[in-house]
Amino acid sequence: MPLSTTVSFHGLDASETLRQEAIKHAQNLVQFANDIIHCDVTFRADTSRRHRPQRFSVQISVHLRRRTISASYGNVPGAEDQDIHIALSRAFDAVTRCIEDYVRRRRGDVKTHTPLYPDL
C-alpha cells in the first residue's frame, strides 16, 4: 500500500519533479519501519533576500503510530550545494537515520556498556 505523502511549497513555485522525487523518497522509508502512517515534506525558500543567492530548506515529518520523527536540511551561506534536490536527498538521509535509531531502540538493540568501576 502506498504511503500517503503531503508535499507543500512555501516561497517558491511548485515543481512536479520535486514532488515526484519527494514521494519516491518517502516510499523508500517503509522498508525501515512498516508502521509509518503519513509523511509531510515542506520546501521553504527565504523570500526576503532579493539580490543574494537564495536560501532554502526542506523539512520532513514522518508520523508513526506512537511517534513523529522530524528532520530538516537547508543550505548555509557559502555552501557549494545550492541545489534543492541535494537538500531533499540529505533531509531524507537524516530522517532515515532517525527512523533507524528509533526502530533500534524500540527493538532493544541498543548497546549497554559495562560500568568502568563496578565496585563503586
- Cα–Cα distance for residue pair 113/115, rounded to 1 Å: 6
Q: What is the pLDDT of residues 18-71, one digit of tens each?
A: 999 999 999 999 999 888 999 999 998 876 666 565 678 899 999 998 899 999
In three-state secondary structure terms, 30 is helix
- Cα–Cα distance for residue pair 82/84, rounded to 1 Å: 7
Q: What is the pLDDT of residues 33-43, one digit of tens each?
A: 888 999 999 99
Indicate the average pLDDT of the chain. Answer: 84
Task: List the 68-74 sheet strands across, edge first.
Answer: 4-10, 36-45, 56-64, 68-74
Mean pLDDT for the stretch of residues 74-89: 72
- What pTM was estimated for this model as a whole? 0.79
Task: State the CATH class of domain 4-107.
Answer: alpha beta
76: number of CA atoms within 13 Å, CB side?
Answer: 3
Query: Where are the domains positioned within the chain?
Result: 4-107
